[in-house]
Amino acid sequence: MLNYQQLLEKQRAFFASGKTRNVAFRIEQLKKLRRVVIEKHQDIEDSLYRDLRKSEFEAFATEVTAMIDEINSAIENLEAWTKPADVPSPPLFGQADSRIYYEPYGTVLILNTWNYPFVLCFKPLVGALAAGNCCVVKPSEVAPATSKVLADIINTAFDEACCVAIEAGIEGTTELLKQRFDFILYTGGTNVGRVVAKAAAEHLTPTVLELGGKSPCIVDKSAYIERSAGSICWGKFINSGQTCTAPDYIWVHKEVKEPLIEALKKQIKAFYGEDVKNSPDFGRIINRRHFERLQGLMKEGRIVFGGETDEHQLFISPTIIDGITWDSKIMQEEIFGPILPVMVFEDLEEVVRTLSKREKPLALYLYTTDKTSEEMIIRNVSFGGGCVNATLMHMLNTNLPFGGVGYSGHGSYSGRWSIETFSHKKGVLNRALSDAPLPVFPPYEDHVKMLKQIYLGQ
């Protein structure tokens, strides 16, 4: 097994050299990464097909282009994002300048997931490197083809003293977590998230945890049903539903439930044809364990569309299930597959009350044309991020932070928000020594009246 302690010492020495603090150096590293991504884009697409049978469009549009967009955004804006920020100083301090400096943490560990293995690695990785850190990346062993290509890209683009990818299983990950990193980012499930958080706590290491959860898709009676159905189907069934921010379930107003279900059926057929299994645009479940878990979730309620499975191909068709309640097994865990349960509500106040009692989701989607309904949900329900009359698009916008809240994780990244996350904000006040003595120096007797006049108006 690779000696992780020696590797970290090598990265710490490189960080201590000060090279990564140079913005020009960081930009050059990002350009090298972009060049390798472009050179190896076909390897990326091929590996995604082998692990998940992602279509060429999904692989290129949701992974390759998203990586390049993230890199381009960082290169174009890095100097502005990392420039020290001037902030006001209280008048009481006399002639003083206050400034916030963005300082890299040092060594960052990124523990990657398998469902969008490239973009969910490169979005935080680009930010960590852009902020001036050295990085260790551990791809997910659950997707072996993409893990190999991801490691190849990173290790081709960088010297290991700056950034390195390590392919390892559970044992290797456990050993990595014993090391003292300066920052850890983990994307994946809640159970492993707890393990990561506990390991980080041993060294008081700050973390970002992106953990998923049950993201609701709320359809108000004022929604455009046909348009909403297309958007919901895209967000739910892309990557065979294996998306951390996919709509986990539909919660629809009782007056439009049946029209919505019919529109969803029609849209699925329009997307994938009558024989979904032979569609080049529909993927497969990552492995047998997840396939069997999803099969178990289909046993309750009433399947009103889909339900076909093929264990040899790890295929599960887009499936809509009616007759689901909060007590159903499928509502007790994140689905992470192409199964869409449907529940009904009578008024949005019921939705707000119920969601406020449940764990906070990573995403929330609302379909409505009523501004009052929109404001009610956004202002009264806590969730990581989301969309109105769309799905998934918020996480593709590099100008928006992406992350969870509460049970769905903490911390965020993407674009400039990655710089915020992977940098220590160091506040510095610089006061002119030639200025008069501060009115907070003793003896205090002559200063009390002045301070009370300023702060109390007395």
Residue 437 preceded by cis peptide, ω within 30:
no
Strands 309-310 and 85-87: unpaired
User: Is-contact 279 316, C-beta < 8 A?
Assistant: no
User: Is-contact 263 32, C-beta < 8 A?
Assistant: no
pLDDT at 92: 74
End-to-end CA distance of the chain: 70
Q: Identify the three-state secondary structure at position 383.
A: coil
Q: Which residue has the tokens 């081709």?
A: 156
Cβ neighbours, 10 Å, residue 115 = 24
Q: Which residue has the tokens 């008048």?
A: 91
Strands 385-388 and 363-367: parallel
Active site residue 244: yes
Question: Which candidate, 280, 265, 282, places its Cα nearest to that of 317?
Answer: 282
Residues of the chain with pLDDT under 50: none
Question: What is the Cα–Cα distance from 80 to 75, expressed in whole angstroms?
Answer: 10
Question: What is the Cα–Cα distance from 68 to 152, expressed in whole angstroms?
Answer: 17
Q: Which two tokens stand for residue 385?
A: 């991020």
pLDDT at 82: 96
Question: What is the Cα–Cα distance from 43 to 156, expressed in whole angstroms?
Answer: 13
Question: What is the Cα–Cα distance from 417 to 438, expressed in whole angstroms?
Answer: 37
Q: Which residue has the tokens 């499975």?
A: 309
Question: Which candidate, 208, 61, 54, places its Cα nearest to that of 146?
Answer: 54
Question: What is the Cα–Cα distance from 339 to 293, expressed in whole angstroms?
Answer: 12
pLDDT at 32: 97
Question: Which candidate, 23, 66, 74, 62, places its Cα nearest to that of 417?
Answer: 74
pLDDT at 433: 75
pLDDT at 435: 62
Q: Is this prediction's pTM over 0.85? A: yes
Where are the alpha helices (H) located in 283-434, listed in sequence order?
A: 288-297, 348-356, 371-380, 416-421
Q: Which residue has the tokens 């989607």?
A: 365
Q: Which two tokens stand for residue 332?
A: 């007790």
* Residue 418 DSSP class: H
User: Is-contact 302 322, C-beta < 8 A?
Assistant: yes
Q: Identify the three-state secondary structure at position 12.
A: helix
Instruction: From the candidates 162, 244, 334, 374, give the one annotated as an active-site residue.
Output: 244
pLDDT at 302: 96
pLDDT at 210: 95
Instruction: From the candidates 45, 58, 63, 210, give the one annotated as an active-site residue.
Output: 210
User: Is-contact 247 342, C-beta < 8 A?
Assistant: no
pLDDT at 1: 57
Cβ-based neighbours of 425, under 8 Å, separated by 6 or more:
100, 101, 102, 103
Where are the alpha helices (H) located in 328-447, listed in sequence order?
A: 348-356, 371-380, 416-421
Rg for the chain (alpha carbons), in Å?
Answer: 25
pLDDT at 344: 96
Strand stretches in 50-182, DSSP E: 85-87, 96-104, 107-111, 134-138, 163-165
pLDDT at 436: 66
H/E stretch holding 387 reads: strand 385-388
Active site residue 233: no
